[in-house]
Amino acid sequence: MSLFADLLSTVFDRRYRGATEPDRKNRSIEELCTDLISNAGEVSGMALARLILDRYAAMEWEEKRAFFAHLTQDQGIDTAAMRAALDGFEQNPGKASYRTLMDLAEPPRQEIARRLNQVPGATGQLVEMRADLLRMTDHNPEFEMLDLDLRHLFSSWFNRGFLVLRPISWETPAEILEKIIAYEAVHAIHSWDDLRRRLQPADRRCFALFHPAMPNEPLIFVEVALTQGVPDSVQALLADGRAPLRAQDADTAVFYSISNCQAGLAGISFGNSLIKQVVADLSRELDGLKTFVTLSPIPGLTRWLEKQGRTMPLDPLAQRQITAHYLVHAKRPDGGPVDPVGRFHLNNGALVHAVHAGADTSENGIRQSGGVMVNYLYDLAQITQNHEKFATSGTVAASSEVRSLAGAVALQDA
Amino acid sequence: MSLFADLLSTVFDRRYRGATEPDRKNRSIEELCTDLISNAGEVSGMALARLILDRYAAMEWEEKRAFFAHLTQDQGIDTAAMRAALDGFEQNPGKASYRTLMDLAEPPRQEIARRLNQVPGATGQLVEMRADLLRMTDHNPEFEMLDLDLRHLFSSWFNRGFLVLRPISWETPAEILEKIIAYEAVHAIHSWDDLRRRLQPADRRCFALFHPAMPNEPLIFVEVALTQGVPDSVQALLADGRAPLRAQDADTAVFYSISNCQAGLAGISFGNSLIKQVVADLSRELDGLKTFVTLSPIPGLTRWLEKQGRTMPLDPLAQRQITAHYLVHAKRPDGGPVDPVGRFHLNNGALVHAVHAGADTSENGIRQSGGVMVNYLYDLAQITQNHEKFATSGTVAASSEVRSLAGAVALQDA
Amino acid sequence: MSLFADLLSTVFDRRYRGATEPDRKNRSIEELCTDLISNAGEVSGMALARLILDRYAAMEWEEKRAFFAHLTQDQGIDTAAMRAALDGFEQNPGKASYRTLMDLAEPPRQEIARRLNQVPGATGQLVEMRADLLRMTDHNPEFEMLDLDLRHLFSSWFNRGFLVLRPISWETPAEILEKIIAYEAVHAIHSWDDLRRRLQPADRRCFALFHPAMPNEPLIFVEVALTQGVPDSVQALLADGRAPLRAQDADTAVFYSISNCQAGLAGISFGNSLIKQVVADLSRELDGLKTFVTLSPIPGLTRWLEKQGRTMPLDPLAQRQITAHYLVHAKRPDGGPVDPVGRFHLNNGALVHAVHAGADTSENGIRQSGGVMVNYLYDLAQITQNHEKFATSGTVAASSEVRSLAGAVALQDA
Amino acid sequence: MSLFADLLSTVFDRRYRGATEPDRKNRSIEELCTDLISNAGEVSGMALARLILDRYAAMEWEEKRAFFAHLTQDQGIDTAAMRAALDGFEQNPGKASYRTLMDLAEPPRQEIARRLNQVPGATGQLVEMRADLLRMTDHNPEFEMLDLDLRHLFSSWFNRGFLVLRPISWETPAEILEKIIAYEAVHAIHSWDDLRRRLQPADRRCFALFHPAMPNEPLIFVEVALTQGVPDSVQALLADGRAPLRAQDADTAVFYSISNCQAGLAGISFGNSLIKQVVADLSRELDGLKTFVTLSPIPGLTRWLEKQGRTMPLDPLAQRQITAHYLVHAKRPDGGPVDPVGRFHLNNGALVHAVHAGADTSENGIRQSGGVMVNYLYDLAQITQNHEKFATSGTVAASSEVRSLAGAVALQDA
């Protein structure tokens, strides 16, 4: 099928490129972009778009920088024309004046991106292009305007309604599995055997979101363990040689790793809908599941303690108390929680359910949080309410146990 | 599979609706739209979006009109704020001022539509919504601004790169086939048996473009006959009881019917890429195919003759001469050809290949063009060149035979 | 996909036929069959097999009869050789003597059928061949030996473990749906709209068994209605314009039509496993389903009454009594129930649950059973026990209501 | 999909097992087998079959041996009854006597195997059972009769017409790929990266045959390299870091490894049809392919030289001469070639095309054939003719070059 599709597009390309390319060889990529949007019809648009993407793919870093500079400087909005159109619309509001205004209120580079996207496979290439761009914005802050435009487009293209949730299992094509290995960002997957241990046992699940135009590229994925009771150690959860549970005997689903895959989709959030849909799917599949929790790292804990001039205590209870305090009370100047993982789950409507000392004894776990981990609980009946309180008043939802742990600490917060 | 998906979403909905709906029962759809975009997170967004779509689906015509009036008047751009943002950006161009400007330069109703589109299945409902809107713009011309916004979004969502070409055959699900019957706009399909005659014989093909978020809704489809030689009669082509040709014996592929399916996607053009991809696919499949032509109606011919104060002559040669003249020389004030089907194919890069008298003897064929039909030829090697000449100078590409027929007529053109 | 497969096999055939056919043109089909099994390797076997199948497909009725006569007379067992092999095995039992005996104990026509079956698509053609054969056995009882051989092979090929259950819905390919229309044997489907009414509503289901080598040919299918309570009228069940139930509100699944599709698979039973798997699937899908019943015709009732010299009474209660009596007590000489539908369901382990007067008011319903119908109940917890009692002692399981109705009749049974 | 299927069968099993198992706990597997075939209906048959398979799966080696002894001794043919049935048939040939004879001419253990095969997934378990059996036949030659019966059944079940060819690529599920790694029998695959090098490059292909009832178990697979010219070294062919060829630039397809996967299917040949179908598919896909060859090991060469009292010469030309001689002239007592790989390809209709010294410098290659390898050529136009000459007169087809090399050696053949 995919082979067949390849063949067809090859034939098409060959014939079509033959017909159109010659006279464009000497045009710069900047000229080609201008051609692309000046061209009224679609006929040569696709060939042009492909040519531009091919040129881009072959560029060195500095050429890419020059290309982005062109898009930033020469393909942005024309403020004078926009102001005139605004005047025109105010004086005579209607279809014609509105169309003129809307056309001018959008920079040409957005239309360039849309036309590039006509080519089969272009979506992934444009996501890659934004990843390149993001690597340059530190040194080229002016590119942030271009980035805003791409992000605006991508929000529309990667709308939740267009995404597809697929289970990832040992039956999944190797091509996708090798990306799961590469993209795992929380607890590294060391080999295909390691991957198999996370996918094949009866008490393991994995799910990813995909976009139909990038069918082999997961956007985000979550790894799930089915357990009896809420786990308090990631090493125990992932231990080699453990005896798997029968799925129907599990009462708890644990989201122990969530990884974003595409640097070029930074700022476009999928995690919330991923988790909610997985909760719904697993509920349906397994009647016995009653509890949906994470077993999450606390990446900001050590750093925060240092800023406070404190160190992690040795006593496990004291570790849990100070961690609970951090998760519930430590806030940024904007009022949001200091911990980034906490921000994500709390904004999704989860609550801080429990904290565990000695839960991640890996080097990374010790370094970032003294080995402490946290469970965030997803209770569908309370998600909306939790989220709304969090979004409007910054209230961190927490279990009574966590609240009581947090209250035991007298600390002057940052 | 699809059943399974349904079940899941049902479970999800049930739980989720239970959790969120109660307190929204008394809010108007306008208030809900405002909630939808004011809500920072996504958590309750999807439930809100679904509620709005459900409300819309249950509306009477006048309620819909009121809803569109709300979107037009209250969810449009704020020109004063936009002007201020424009000033701010000019004075201090940068990420922050650009973001403010871009946010204000897009009317809130675009973001409303994007958020509605988060819901599985929403894309089709939004396309339906625009179809409703277009039925009202004659009486409510102010809605055309809203329509421009929807069209702008749809152009992005229905980008060629996101569409999928699928063959339509007697193996296609009945659910889709019944839509092919309903949407056929050129030569009506009278029954399932009639449909089978267009799909099942070895010398027939059909292809449609689909969007992944509307997997059961063709966007546009083309019916193809494989023949020996270029046909000169649509009744002969579709005759019941004819002996089918073996596909490998055909030298010509005839596009004898192209139908757009979605009123709500008016103005978003797919036909060009559909035809080109079908040409490429068929070339690949069948080595013997050398010629790709249409057998097209000429919907504007009779009307044009009447405007000229002429009537269709009786002599077949004279019919062909006047038709060739019409196709090649009759122009609108803007310089484009009078005939709408001609505009479509010429803009795609086709050329006027041949005209045939007595080619469509149906009532409709006699009425609109005195029974004359035309073949447009798609020659991949010349498509780009033809298109560019047509787009830049309005030149109508035609075979020497057609040019000579057209030249035989002395007529004062409109 | 399927198209692609076709193309490939075409190429293959063309090349391959070219290489092998010439020297076989003058050989009779009988000689070709002998070639087919004498040929040691497989190399030319497939070409030979295809040639034989093509020849058969082009035969007139009398040619087919001659071919079957050849298989019956010339490709049967050699009793003398078999006896010698039996002697040999008894004197010196072991691998070699056993192989010789087994080879001779199976008639060559079985190996011919197996080799014909190498060709892609041959399975369906062989099933058709047996359907032809069965149409001749009345006049050619000697063909029954050949039939036993084919039936033996087909039992092996169509083993339950090789069959696949698929839902049939309005999303099913038209190619399969037209066969559902054609094969429905109980309550005729009159049109595509009629079919849609049996597939598309939320309270309707249909399932069929398929063999992977005949992917477009259902072997048997069952139509199911989801209801509240056990229905007592098939016309009410199938009424046009009725309001569909939400599937989750149903408590009962009604198997109202079961049709075998392949005359060539007569005597090979699929119905039992079809029903049991559908019960299991529906239980899983819909928690609310508690009762699984048929609404079945009683095809032998009128005929049996006539043999008894009785006529159907007018009073509904009397109708139900005599019907209950018939179903529970009327037996064939071999001890099995007279009613063929009853035999099928009772042998599957169902019980006679209820009888309804005026339940099928169609012409056919009135003729065969005076309009009375019966529900057989499938209770998974009792199926095995019911079946075993039925299989060993002929006991007909029935509800107490039916037993009481049956007991009210004093009749001398046939 | 597969998950869903699993769930369903789980539900089904649970309910069904609950209903039937209790009273069978104390019956031996031998008694259960007798129940299985004495049971007239299918109702409890599937539960019984599953129970037997579960029992078998849990058995120790000696228990299995006892089970096979039971099948061999107690479930074989009854020669006295068979002789009586033979008499009966001769005296009164007809349907009844034929049925009796056929029933008795087949040992009950065949019907046991067929009924076991009703259970979903049983086919693979039965193949495993035969693999166990074959491991015992050296010490238990009496089991060879049972083996003949299983092989007879499997020939029918694994008929070429039921098998499906599927490409194996980097898009194939990991579950299948790990089996490719495990089953590769010619040139070992050392890791997932090694596997990727054989699947992912544009000039590599792999194809496997599958049976629909064992969808995750390849039966046989072939690895193909696309090359320019016929290769003379497998190390060069598989070199890490080589630059891949564009598929459309290849003129030759090289079958460099063919591996049977299922020990339990020994003696049932798939290789011939696999190669022919792959040749046909690749011809279709890639117009440029003109030559189809193997690059094959010569596993019997060293052993044969030793028997001849010869050693491999050092001179490459002399190596090629003696190898050519071996391949063309060295025969077994039955007239077939000594070399097993040679027998396979020659029987398929291939010819000995070329021999290469230093072509496999691996330890295994040096040991078995002094590093010499051979190309067998598949020329579809000559396959049938080659095969028939080989099958009837033992003639080994060879290129003139190979014949001339072979002729240069004066050797007294074994």
CB-nearest to B284 from A7, A40, A347 is A7
pLDDT in tens, chain A (414 residues): 333 333 333 333 434 444 444 467 788 999 889 888 875 545 667 888 999 999 999 999 999 999 999 999 999 999 999 999 999 999 999 999 999 999 999 999 999 999 999 888 899 999 999 999 999 999 999 999 999 999 999 999 999 889 999 999 999 999 999 999 999 888 889 999 999 999 999 999 999 999 999 999 999 999 999 999 999 999 999 988 889 999 999 999 999 999 999 999 998 888 778 998 899 899 988 989 999 999 999 999 999 999 999 999 999 999 999 999 999 999 999 889 999 999 999 988 899 999 999 999 999 999 999 999 999 999 988 888 898 888 888 899 999 999 999 988 765 444
Burial of A337 (0-12, 13-18, 19+ CB in 10 A): buried
Neighboring chain C residues of A4 at a CB cutoff of 8 Å:
1, 4
Give residue C8's pLDDT: 32
- Gap from C243 CA to chain A (nearest CA, Å): 28
Residue to substitute from D99, D123, D142, D160, interface C, most C β-carbons within 10 A: D160
Nearest to A3 among D3, D167, D173 (CB): D167
Among B2, B3, B4, most D C-beta atoms within 10 A, so best to mutate, is B4
Contacts B285 to C, Cβ<8 Å: 3, 7
Helix A122-136, helix A61-74: angle, nearest 10: 90
CA of A65 vs chain B CAs: smallest distance (Å):
18
* pLDDT tens per residue across span C31-56: 899 888 875 545 667 888 999 999 99
| Inter-chain touch A272–B383, beta carbons under 8 Å | no
- Shortest CA distance from A2: residue in chain C: C1
* Surface of A (195-214) touching D: CB under 8 A: 196
CB-CB under 8 Å, A177 with D196: no
Closest Cα partner for C295 from C241, C347, C238?
C238
3-state per-residue secondary structure call for chain D: CHHHHHHHHHHHHHHHHHHHCHHHCCCCHHHHHHHHHHCCCCCCHHHHHHHHHHHHHCCCHHHHHHHHHHHHHHCCCCHHHHHHHHHHHHHCCCHHHHHHHHHHHCCHHHHHHHHHCCCCCHHHHHHHHHHHHHHHCCCCCCHHHHHHHHHHHHHHHCCHHHCEEEECCCCCEHHHHHHHHHHCCCCCCCCHHHHHHHHCCCCEEEEEEECCCCCCCCCEEEEEEEECCCCCCHHHHHCCCCCCCCHHHCCEEEEEEEEECCHHHCCCCCHHHHHHHHHHHHHHHCCCCCEEEECECCCCHHHHHHHCCCCCCCCHHHHHHHHHHHHHHCECCCCCECCHHHHHHHHCCCEEEEEECCCCCCHHHHHHHCCCEEEEECCCCCHHHHHHHHHHHCCCCECHHHHHHHHCCCCCCC
Q: How far is D10 from chain C (nearest CA, A)?
A: 9
Q: Which of D7, D180, D190, D192 is best to mutate for the A interface (most A CBs within 10 A)?
A: D192
Residue of chain A with shortest Cα separation from B81 = A86
Which pair of structure tokens corresponds to residue A263?
């640097």
pLDDT band of B74, cuts 50, 70, 90: very high
Q: Find, in chain B, the residue whose alpha carbon is nearest to that of D1.
A: B1
pLDDT reported for residue B39: 58
Looking at the complex, report in whole angstroms how far the Cα of residue B66 sits from the nearest Cα belonging to chain D. 45
Do B354 and B252 meet the contact criterion of CB atoms below 8 Å apart? no
Decide if C162 contacts C211 (C-beta within 8 A): yes
What's the pLDDT at B414? 39
C–D interface: beta-carbon pairs under 8 A: 207
Taking contacts as CB-CB distances below 8 angstroms, the residues of chain D near B284 are: none
> In this predicted structure, what is the pLDDT of residue C410?
64
Does the distance separating the beta carbons of B285 and C3 come in below 8 Å?
yes
CB-based contact A46 B117, cutoff 8 Å: no
* pLDDT grade for B95, boundaries at 50, 70 and 90: very high
Look at B141 and A83 and tell me if their CB atoms are within 8 Å.
Answer: no
Which residues contact residue B365 at a Cβ distance below 8 angstroms, ignoring those fewer than 6 apart? B234, B297, B359, B371, B373
C window 346-365, beta carbon within 8 A of D = 347-349
- pLDDT higher than threshold 60 for residue B333: yes
Of all residues in chain C, the percent with pLDDT exceeding 90 is 73
Kindly report the nearest CA distance between residue D1 and chain B, in angstroms.
Answer: 6
Chains that touch C (3 or more CB pairs under 8 A): A, B, D
Residues of C whose CB is below 8 A from A1:
1
Q: Which residue has the higher pLDDT, C158 or B7?
A: C158
Yes or no, beta carbons of C7 and B285 under 8 Å apart? yes
Lowest mean pLDDT among B5-14, C302-311, D141-150: B5-14
Q: Which of residues 274-333 of A touch B (CB under 8 A)?
A: 276-277, 280-281, 283-284
Q: Which of D3, D8, D9, D175 to mutate to test the interface with A (most CBs of A within 10 A)?
A: D175
The tens digit of pLDDT for each residue in A283-292 reads 988 989 999 9
**Which pLDDT does position B388 carry in this prediction?**
82
The predicted structure's pLDDT at residue B13: 41
Question: Contact A86/B86, CB-based, under 8 Å?
Answer: yes
Question: What pLDDT is stored for residue B16 in this prediction?
Answer: 41
212-231 in A: which are within 8 Å (CB) of B?
A: 212-213
Kindly report the nearest CA distance between residue A55 and chain D, in angstroms: 21
**Yes or no, beta carbons of D79 and C90 under 8 Å apart:** yes
- Which A residues, 103 through 122, put their C-beta within 8 Å of a C-beta on chain D? none
pLDDT band of B9, cuts 50, 70, 90: very low
Task: Enumerate the residues of chain A whose CB falls inside 8 A of the CB of residue B119.
Answer: 161
- Answer yes or no: is pLDDT of C302 > 70: yes
Residue from A3, A166, A248 whose CB has the most chain D CBs within 10 Å, to mutate: A3
Is A156 near chain D, with CB under 8 Å? no
Mutate to test the interface with D, among C160, C165, C220, C379 (most CBs of D within 10 A): C160
pLDDT digits (tens, 9 = 90+) for B167-207: 999 999 999 999 999 998 888 899 999 999 999 999 999 99
Rounded-to-integer distance, Cα A7 and Cα D78, Å: 60
Q: Give the mean pLDDT of C261-275.
A: 88
Distance from the D356 Cα atom to the nearest Cα atom in chain A, whole angstroms: 34
Nearest CA in chain C to A1: C1
Residue with tokens 């083309």: B222
Q: What is the ipTM of this complex?
A: 0.86
pLDDT tier at B236, thresholds 50, 70, 90: very high
Within 8 A of B114 by CB-CB distance, chain A residues are 155-156, 159
Residues of D with CB below 8 A from A2's CB?
171
Residues of D with CB below 8 A from B1's CB? 1, 4
Q: Say if C3 is an interface residue toward chain A (CB within 8 Å).
A: no
Q: Does C1 touch chain A (CB under 8 A)?
A: yes
Measure the CA–CA gap between A400 and A387, rounded to whole angstroms: 18
Cβ atoms of residues B100 and B89 within 8 Å: yes
Q: Which domains does chain A have, with CATH numbers?
A: 12-157 (1.20.140.90), 161-294 (3.40.630.180), 301-406 (3.40.630.150)
- The pLDDT > 70 percentage for chain D reads 92
Asked whether the predicted pLDDT for residue C106 surpasses 70, the reply is: yes
Residues of chain C contacting B289 with CB distance shorter than 8 Å: none
**In this predicted structure, what is the pLDDT of residue A411?**
54
**H or E segment to which residue A255 belongs:** strand A252-260
User: Who among B12, B118, B161 is closest to A213 (CB)?
Assistant: B161
Band (pLDDT 50/70/90 cuts) for residue D39 is: low
Contacts of C4 in chain A (CB under 8 A): 4
Among chain A residues, CA nearest to B284: A8
Residue from the list D122, D380, D387 with its beta carbon closest to the beta carbon of C41: D387
